[in-house]
Amino acid sequence: MNGTSPENFRRPANSRGTAATELALSLPLLMLLALAASDFGRVFHAREIVSNAARTGASAGACRGFTPITRQAWEDHVLESATEEMQSLASFNEADMIYELEVTGEATDFPRTAVTINYLFRSFVAWPGLPTEIEIRERVEVQRFR
């Protein structure tokens, strides 16, 4: 007989079920690692979206001028721009977002619009020793250019 006969591939009787046992022991650990990697990625994705929302709001404010009469409509437009950008976050809840708008240098021809967004991110799993809620804060300041 040659070395590749089916008899050579049989496992000894005392080692049957080893692969199933190893899978049953390692699968919960692998699932925890997959959930941890998913939560880790979600935090960075949320931070990127918060940063984009602050930038979008500040840019929208810098592109449009306002007068004392139109200031409220201008502020509403800036808030709407930032909130619309935050909508791309799948788990977005508007109650978790704190929005601040600040205008400096109004007496000059080129005032600066600053938008600060604080967002409360919640993880999927309550990891022991790690916070389940993470506050993401981003501030962007843009000078009006026209």
Query: Tens digits of per-residue pLDDT, 122-141?
Result: 888 888 888 889 999 999 99
Residue 4 lies in a domain: no
Residue 109 lies in a domain: yes
Rounded Cα–Cα distance for residues 73 and 70 (Å): 5
Residue 74 lies in a domain: yes
Residue 9 lies in a domain: no
Fill in the amino acid letter for 53. Answer: A
- Which residues constitute the domain of residue 51? 40-143
Residue 67 lies in a domain: yes
Residue 95 lies in a domain: yes
What predicted TM-score, i.e. pTM, was given to this entire model?
0.78
Query: Tens digits of per-residue pLDDT, 57-100?
Result: 999 999 988 888 999 999 999 999 999 999 999 888 889 999 99
Structurally, the chain folds into a number of domains equal to 1
Residue 24 lies in a domain: no
Residue 72 lies in a domain: yes
Neighbours of 76 (CB within 10 A): 10
> Quick one: average pLDDT of 100-104?
94
Which of the residue ranges 39-43, 115-119, 142-146 would you say has the lowest mean pLDDT?
A: 142-146
Strand 97-104 to 133-143 pairing: unpaired
Rounded Cα–Cα distance for residues 38 and 47 (Å): 14
Rounded Cα–Cα distance for residues 76 and 134 (Å): 27
Cα 86 to the center of its chain, rounded Å:
10
